Chains A and B, each alone.
Chain A
Amino acid sequence: MLEISNIYKTFNPGTPNEVRALRGVSLRLETSSFLIIIGTNGSGKSTLLNAVAGTFLVDTGSIKLADTEISRWAEHKRARFVGRVFQNPFSGTAPNMSIAENLALAARRGQPRGLGWALNHKLHSELRDRIRTLNMGLENRMDNAIGSLSGGQRQALTLLMASWLKPELLLLDEHTAALDPKSADQVIRLTHEIINRDKLTTLMVTHSMQQAVHLGDRIVMMHRGEVLHDLQGAERARVRPEDLLKRFDEVRRREQLDAAVAEMLRRNYI
């Protein structure tokens, strides 16, 4: 279970570049639930995921995972609980190392690494079996460098790596956004399979309303560092892509209204 209570994050505080990226976000995510996060550009979706993963420490607020307060932990320590797939297919794998070596690294996520062999026969054949289920023919290229693979293949492998040890929490940040439509479909199907099979607690950011509606059991819409809508249960079940788009329009209209009001105030008073 993930419990985020009232977290705040301001980048570059006290400078002209100050950004209040998270402004009191609270979320409670039951074990095995699958939450989709949507929101306009710059609304703080990635920042929320980074805050949970530990890319930086939040200014205030608490983050609890598996009944442990982790908000002060370093990123590599949190990795014991968290599996992660990034938006950029280059981010999740070591390009000059082989497919087998990359997966072997993931097979020890969050565990101490000593002088045992990274790859042995048992692990190698286990890896091969799992890679075969991707249906990408990669099981015959286990010793090739990952750098030679396509973005879609890399994201599929990164997903496999992130979920290898069944993390307490899986974080997916627009992990299909950089892929061509066909690869994106393939990776989304794989995402669905893995999360369903292992009942993983998941936070996924997406810009695709189709994905938002067809995956997951709850939708959160963020705006300006806050949670604006939280659709669950019956409300979530009824929702269609058009409804979500309408909510985006609302946000946009309100934004324009705000801008217009500000302009009027400025003209009248300054």
Chain B
Amino acid sequence: MTLLLGATTIGLILALLALGVYLSFRIFNFPDITADGSITLGASVTAVLLMHRWSPWLATFAGFAAGMAAGAITGVLHTKFKINGLLSGILVMTALYSVNLHVMGKSNVPLLNEVTLASQAESVGQHLFHTDGDLNILGWAVGVRDAAMLLSMAGLVSLLGFALYLFFRTNLGTAMRATGDNPQMIRALGVSVDFILILGLALSNGLIALAGGLLAQYQGFADVQMGIGMVVWGLASVIIGEALVGSHRIGLLITGAVMGSILFRLLVAIALRWGLNPNDLKLITAAFVFVALIAPATLRKLKSSPKPSAA
């Protein structure tokens, strides 16, 4: 049970990663690899500030802001210096590896006795449930910390997902969606495509860095390696989400990305429990995304291939 609760919580946290990936890959059709670096950036900035006794909310927000800056740089490299999109992301991601090491001063920062959002959620939980031991939920023993963290992350992610949905219905947000859909058209309607792309990538990487900051607080450390392969994990969640909701409506797609992230984490937890070698996880995820990417086209081809009777 604790295993499933933990997986769900991580799924919720990484739903912010999925939303960021959704924004860059799906809204802009921009394969933004910066994510691998910005999720670690969010984690390291937040962790180091927590070590310096910043308030957890401020430290978390600072991680978000750092991610925005990273995304904006990728956007500037692509729009102002005309560097290929994929390469822009790779450049920033590579640079961020050094930046993250500098921020942390070493490759791993543990958060043991610091006040974090996780420890705050735990004490609020103890207060509410009047216990500091385990809760009894339908016969299962559940740690207060786990339950409190799950609930607060569910609240936070719902809030942010809803805010993103509302944003996409504002003038700026619709212009952003149109920029991905048809840049020629939106330019002719007076929108600077460059500016919108920079803003969008900043927002995307801000969300991803936020996921990193929250993850560091939940698992109790930031590590310079933690971002490796995250883009593909985010993409897997988005793809699962799209399959779950099967719609192009923006609200459903956002919900789908969150659900996809949770489902993906649960599947991973179960697979590991059944004896999957953790070293194979990234290979299997990559293979899954590969299959999911080619499946629609392959299915179409199979369907439309002329049948002998029809010819």
Contact = CB atoms under 8 A, between A and B. Distances in A.
Interface of A: 53, 74-77, 79-80, 82, 84, 86, 90-97, 101-102, 104-106, 108-111, 113-119, 145, 161
B12 interface: no
Contacts of B178: 94, 97, 101-102, 105
B169 to A, nearest CB: 6
B168 to A, nearest CB: 9
Given A97-B177, A101-B174, A119-B169, A113 B188 contact: no
A11 B189 CA distance: 25
B277 interface: no
B172 A79 contact: no
B309 to A, nearest CB: 30
A161 B189 CA distance: 9
Nearest to B173: A118
B182 interface: yes
A79 B188 CA distance: 6
Contacts of B185: 91-94
Contacts of B189: 79, 105-106, 108-110, 161
B84 interface: no
| Across the A-B interface, the 6 shortest Cβ-Cβ residue pairs | A79-B190, A110-B190, A94-B181, A113-B171, A118-B174, A94-B178
Contacts of B167: 115
Main secondary structure of the interface of A (DSSP, over half): loop
A86 B172 CA distance: 24
Contacts of A82: 188
B131 interface: no
Nearest to A83: B188
A96 B247 CA distance: 12
A94 B182 contact: yes
Nearest to B248: A96
Nearest to A106: B189
B53 interface: no
Given A115-B171, A116-B170, A119-B169, A94 B177 contact: yes
B193 A76 contact: yes
A44 B212 CA distance: 53
B190 A93 contact: no
23 contacts: A53-B188, A74-B192, A76-B190, A79-B187, A94-B185, A95-B182, A97-B174, A97-B181, A101-B177, A101-B178, A104-B174, A105-B178, A106-B189, A108-B171, A113-B170, A113-B172, A113-B175, A114-B170, A115-B171, A116-B171, A117-B170, A118-B169, A145-B248
Contacts of A119: 169
Given A76-B191, A90-B182, A109-B189, 15 more contacts: A75-B187, A79-B188, A80-B190, A84-B188, A93-B182, A94-B177, A95-B181, A96-B248, A105-B175, A109-B190, A110-B190, A111-B190, A115-B170, A116-B170, A116-B171
B171 to A, nearest CB: 4
Interface string B124-168: 000000000000000000000000000000000000000000010
A96 B181 contact: yes
Contact of A105 (B186, B192, B193, B248): B186
A51 to B, nearest CB: 14
Nearest to B183: A94
A75 B188 contact: yes
Contact of B192 (A53, A76, A161): A76
Contacts of B298: none
B184 interface: yes
Contacts of B175: 105, 113
Contacts of B182: 90-91, 93-95
A154 to B, nearest CB: 11
Contact of B191 (A86, A95, A97, A113): A113
Nearest to A145: B248
Nearest to B176: A113
A76 B177 CA distance: 17
Nearest to A108: B171
Nearest to A158: B185
A114 B173 CA distance: 9
